[in-house]
Amino acid sequence: MNYKHLHYFWSVVRSGGVLKASEELHLSPQTLSGQINLLEERLGRPLLMKVGRNVEPTEAGRMVMQYADEIFTLGQELEDALRGGKDAPRAPLLKVGFVDSVPKLIAYHVLEPALRLEPTPRLQCPEGKLPALMTELAMRRVDLVISDVPLPGNLGVKAFTHLLGGSGIAFFASERVLRKHGTSVRQVRARFPQSLQPLPMLLPAADSASRPRLDAWLRQHGIAPNIAAEFQDTALMKAFGREGLGVFPAPAVLAREISRQFEVERLGSPDDLVEEFYAISIERRISHPGVAAITEAARSELFATA
């Protein structure tokens, strides 16, 4: 493989287009496109596709981009280390993948203990669906995967699931949406959960791990939800909740933080609705210090009182 061609591809993706990258690299757009075409011919797959006036990586291009990121980041680190002297410390790299349905606040609190280590690791946090992340784990391209479901047996990856802990699910809403529907926090809490029935609801997407549990719980309590919107991204769901567009579920273990950050009130926390989180690793017994810090702190701190 010609690494100059790889660098050209990497530059185009990072800049968002051939024209901008050609200006940065002091090449003509035609020359740059031709060099990337040679890389595509060498790899046997298209790497870029046009989206409007810009280009974006194809599925194969995204995989190539991940490798290119590591290659050129390491190259820059090597230059920096040589400039700084042979004893210049290099931060250890800790790569933790997150299933995209794991709430972002949970993701932050899971990762935070690793940042207390000395030396502090440099984090890489890819996000995606569990099958894609398990492929990365099997290839040792991530050290750990954080998921809201245990490892399914049909993925064909030899790995081990470690339960980090669980949290009850609480329901939150801004006072604005309650006033709009002629009720108040006190009234909703007094008749919870039946008081949810007339209120618009913001829910995780139908294919998320938590949605079947939520649907079953709502049916069990005779609630036919008035679904205003469904979201792949739970952070976006909370943002809509903050703006008064509906009631939304979120981990009760983070209730104070959610109420403060999104200016919402907790309406109720049912005892029979729980969400669990898992760490998936290649090792049965975790030895990586960063991974160990994450798993131990999650059990002893984050989920200890859940």
Q: CATH number of the domain at 50, please.
A: 1.10.10.10
Q: What are phi and psi of 59, to 5 degrees?
A: -60, -45
Alpha helices in 200-249 (DSSP H): 211-220, 234-242
Question: What span, in angstroms and rounded, lies between the C-alpha atoms of 68 and 74?
Answer: 10
206 with 285, same domain: the answer is yes
What is the tally of structural domains in the chain?
Answer: 2
20 with 119, same domain: the answer is no
155 within 8 A of 131, measured Cβ to Cβ:
yes
Query: What angle is formed at CA 115 by the lines to CA 112 and CA 116, rounded to 5 degrees?
Result: 105
What domain range is 252 assigned to? 91-306
212 with 287, same domain: the answer is yes
292 with 227, same domain: the answer is yes
Type and span of the H or E element at 272: none
Helix/strand number for the chain, H first, E second:
12, 12
Tell me: cis bond preceding 289? Omega within 30 of 0 counts.
no
For tokens 């991940």, the residue is: 66
35 with 67, same domain: the answer is yes
Query: What angle is formed at CA 228 by the lines to CA 225 and CA 232, rounded to 5 degrees?
Result: 100
**Domain end marker among 57, 84, 111:** 84
**Domain end marker among 59, 84, 109:** 84
Q: What's the pLDDT score for residue 115?
A: 86
What's 247's DSSP letter?
A: B
The residue ranking higher by pLDDT, 122 or 286, is 122
130 with 224, same domain: the answer is yes
37 with 135, same domain: the answer is no
Residue 86's pLDDT band (boundaries 50, 70, 90)? low
- Summarised one tens digit per residue, pLDDT across range 58-84 is 888 888 988 888 788 778 777 766 776
189 with 108, same domain: the answer is yes
204 within 8 A of 237, measured Cβ to Cβ:
yes
Residue 306's pLDDT band (boundaries 50, 70, 90)? low
Mean pLDDT of 165-194: 96
145 with 245, same domain: the answer is yes
Q: Out of 136-150, 269-283, 291-305, which region has the weakest mean confidence (pLDDT)? A: 291-305
137 within 8 A of 280, measured Cβ to Cβ:
yes
Instruction: Specify the 3-state DSSP secondary structure of 51.
Output: strand
Question: What span, in angstroms and rounded, lies between the C-alpha atoms of 182 and 188?
Answer: 11
Report the relative pairing of strands 274-281 and 144-147 from DSSP bridges: antiparallel
Instruction: Specify the 3-state DSSP secondary structure of 101.
Output: coil
37 with 177, same domain: the answer is no
Domain containing residue 215: CATH number? 3.40.190.290
Residue 40's pLDDT band (boundaries 50, 70, 90)? very high
Q: What's the pLDDT score for residue 56?
A: 84
120 with 140, same domain: the answer is yes
For tokens 């049965």, the residue is: 284
**DSSP-assigned beta bridge partners for residue 203:** 230
b/e map of 4-31 (b: 16 or more CB within 10 Å)?
Answer: ebbbbbbbbbebebbeebbeebebeeee
Report the relative pairing of strands 144-147 and 93-99 from DSSP bridges: parallel
**Domain end marker among 34, 54, 84:** 84
pTM over 0.95, yes/no? no
10 with 29, same domain: the answer is yes
**DSSP-assigned beta bridge partners for residue 251:** 169
DSSP letter for each residue of 182-219: T--HHHHHHTTTGGGTTSEEEEE-TTSSSHHHHHHHHH
250 within 8 A of 103, measured Cβ to Cβ:
yes
